[in-house]
Structure 1
Amino acid sequence: MSVVVLYSAQLHSQASPYYKGGLKVNFGDDGKKYLRMISWAQFQATYSDDVPEDQSNTNFMVRRARVLMFAQINEKFLILTHFGLNSLNSNTMSPTGKSEGSQLFFHDVWAQYNVAPDHVVGGGLHYFNGISRLNNQSTLNMLSLDNNRQSWSTLGLSDQFARHIGVFAKGKFNKLQYRVSINDAITTGLDTRDALTGQAVYGGKRLLGSKDAGKTYSGYFDFNFFDQESNFLPFKVGTYLGGKKVFNVGAGFFLHPKGSVIMDGTELKGEDVQIFAVDAFYDTPLGSNGSALTAYATFQSNDYGTNYLYSAYGTGSMVYGHLGYVVPGNVDKTRFQPYVTYASNSYDAVDDNRNVFGIGANAYLSGNNSKLTLEYQNQNFGDTKTGTLTLQAMIYL
């Protein structure tokens, strides 16, 4: 079976009765030379109770607008490009579309080579991440409204929007899939603080140089007990809606030697960033009436350095899980999937945990290719309590 058929099978298994693999241009009769194109958009209307008095509680946003293309001229190598924008709203727009928030940028640009059956190496700006399934999550088929934010564990700290520049290897040994990579860390990430506070700062490459703090190392390994998932592309499926019977157990890591820096007396001292996780994913049809179950759970140990705490990230631990149920119904008609999510993040730097609870429902008009999502999320962290209600419309073709 060719890699093209494998990927088409993954898309079809996401339970759309109409979508048969999207736009594909073949160069030749055998289908081995081709160009595939995928486009998607997510639009949100959000109500939040935690806004300043002079601000509106309701806002609109283009959460994502993306185009992904990949091509092969034979089965030995592939090139992929993926570009788009994120979170465009009235504050990030500009009169002439030239502000940072309005700009398209490349999310992924990589080339890969088949070095043996089921084994590939490649390089570029890529998404073959380590740590957990959610750190490799596709944005086309998430169970919940969006990914668990803390699971994109290095976003903007060592990478560009969850992508590193480097080399990777991926493949499988029977039912065991793997992905590993060696990458350059971003020089100036989101954490631009100095190191005078007594807490670690994620700025090792910026403050110590690339020789000591320039490289990151990551990997993720998952064992597929039942149906085998495609690993043709790095993006992990969030819910198959019962189109497959999947039970996977995984483990992963991310290492960045001297990635963080802390002041030791009068000198800067590098501290290693070390993140480890274990997780399990289960998706199965329930009988023949169209109902299905999706469940996921993960435990993650986060070490960003001594008492590190920046935005949603901090040294400590995280547990996260979600559960969704597809209500019985005809796959050719609108299907509904209520779900719940829960995350608890502990931080060494403070006594309080960040607890996030979500409850919502998906209405699938054509499987994952056209859906509406309504979600209420409540977040508690110390004295801060935020409730947000969001309606999202998504289409991908």
Structure 2
Amino acid sequence: MKKTSLLLIVCFFSFQLFFAQGAPDYNGGMKVKLNEEGTKYFRIISWAQFWAQHNPDRPLDGNGNEQSDLDFSIRRARVLMYAQLNKKFLILTHFGLNSLNADNMSAIGTGENSQLFFHDVWGEYQLTNDHAIGGGLHYWNGISRANNQSTLNMMTLDNTRQAWATIGLSDQFARHMGIYLKGKFGKLQYRLAINDALTDNLQVNATPTNGAAIYSGRRLLGSKEAGRAYAGYLDYNFLDQESNFLPYKVGSYLGSKKVFNVGAGFFLHPKGSVSLDNNAELQGEDVSIFAVDAFYDAPIGSNGAAITAYALAQFNDYGENFTLGQTYETGKMLHAHLGYVIPGSKSTKFQPYLHYTNRSIDAIDDNANQFGLGANAYFSGHHSKLTLEYQNTKYGSFDAIGSITLQAMIYL
């Protein structure tokens, strides 16, 4: 079984290597100018990520049957469009699906598992050349660079899951409904937001207890008392200045820029969690998440070599002894990743990388550790690439789980 699974992975790799050839010149993608000056236009971006994942440690299914070591899935399939009537006004819409596989597909695509939904829908007004205000379902998040990560140009196979620290708790898939202010003062960029917190979240059926909080403040205490969340992120651009036209942070520039940023951010949700006091009455607990991080991406010499490095320290307080699904915990997290573009051909680039995450978990008085080793093959930058990664995760006293994933990505 294992030999067959590995053979299929190799075949899948070869298939995508042959067919996943992006255009050699991107030239801004699909952008349509509606006037001669180019101030009125719309742009469409589309991308898809296909996964083949080998995991010999998968648990039994709901009927007690063993599951295959090898699975195929569409990790992401998205379409994003933004348009400007003029330099003052912008509207953006972004829809798609995530993690579509044989277990959550529906027979004719219309069942309760249908995953196509809006990720972003917001409008923006330019206040000055450097500052703008906007509102809607948006991705102008706080906390860290990783919590604002673009899924178009990640260096690692995927983002650190716990860095997206509020998905399904206070927001819809890392997007809040609210208003934001963004801009820059010289080399200091900022984003601030006031948002409505989600009511029907991942703990919509959870019941509070004494000694352990659940993330159900808005549902159980009401929107007036626990309905608002506040977020912000600031980063100082020491070298090349990054664009903040859109909120999505680049994972790796492959040496095309020389960037060194240091940032800090926060997320606050007053009475976002609840628990029972000694009299079995509901009490609200404030949710607070803080982080500091640093990002470096630069060419090395003139032969195409480059380095990408990122470090993050995140401090999570979801309430007393909060834990949910081995993903969200009150405690702290340290994460780092490092990648190196091997010098060589301009058309094809290879980038080995490694990443490591350590999490402390108050509820179980123990740690979780994750290690990953992988490599990217770029055929047209991030527009056409393959990623192969081995990942090993150890959570508390549970046995470590290892997996091998191959990703093929097209971005137009």
Give the TM bin, normalised by the shorter chain. Answer: over 0.9
What is the aligned counterpart of 1:38 among 31, 34, 45?
Answer: 45
1:85-125 superposed Cα distances (whole Å, 9 cap, x missing partner) = 00000001111111344331000000000011210000000
Q: Which runs of 5+ in 2 are unaligned?
A: 1-22
Cα separation, partners in 2 of 1:197 and 1:388, compared to 1, 3 Å: farther
| 2:323 equivalent to 1:323 | no
Cα distance in 2 for partners of 1:175, 1:300 equals: 24
Equivalent residue for 2:235, pick from 222, 229, 243: 222
State the alpha-carbon separation in 1 of the partners of residues 334 and 44 from structure 2.
Answer: 36
Paired residues of 2:289 and 2:317 also in contact (CA < 8 A): yes
**2:90 pairs with 1:75:** no
Q: Is the 8 A contact 1:92 1:99 kept in 2?
A: no
Task: Write the distance in 1 (CA, Å) between the matches of 2:192 and 2:399.
Answer: 38
When normalised by structure 1's length, the TM-score is: 0.95
Measure the CA separation in 2 of the matches of 1:100 and 1:182.
Answer: 31
Structure 1 stretches of 4+ with a deviation exceeding 4 A read none
Matched residue of 1:384: which SS? coil
* Counterpart in the other structure of 1:277: 291
Q: Which runs of 5+ in 1 are unaligned?
A: 1-15
Separation in 2 of the partners of 1:198 and 1:276?
A: 23
Give the one of 203, 218, 241 matched to 1:205.
218
The count of residues paired between Structure 1 and Structure 2 equals 382
State the match for 2:352 in structure 1.
Answer: 338
Return the TM-score normalized by structure 2.
Answer: 0.91
1:85 aligns with 2:94: no
Name the counterpart of 2:108. 96
Partner of 1:310: 324
Please give the alpha-carbon distance, in whole angstroms, between the structure 2 residues aligned to 1:178 and 1:103: 32
Partner of 2:135: 123
Instruction: String of CA shifts for 1:178-212, please: whole Å, max 9, x gaps.
Output: 00000000001112311025300000001110011
1:30 Cα shift?
0.5
> Partners of 2:342 and 2:374 in 1: how far apart?
14
Distance in 2, matches of 1:104 and 1:261, equals: 32
Matching residue of 1:145: 157
In the TM superposition, what are the counterparts of 1:228-307 in structure 2 within 5 Å?
228-264=241-277, 265-307=279-321
Show the counterpart of 1:390.
405
CA contact (8 A) 1:92 1:100 kept: no
The SS at the match of 2:224 is helix
Deviations 1:131-189 (A, max 9, x none): 00000000000010000000000000000000000000000000000000000000011
Which SS does the other structure have where 1:242 is aligned?
coil
Counterpart Cα distance in 1 of 2:388 and 2:262? 29
Provide the residue aligned with 1:57 in structure 2. Answer: 69
- The superposition leaves residues 20-74 of structure 1 with CA deviations (integer Å, 9 ceiling, x where unpaired) of 1100111110000001000000000000121236210100000000000000010
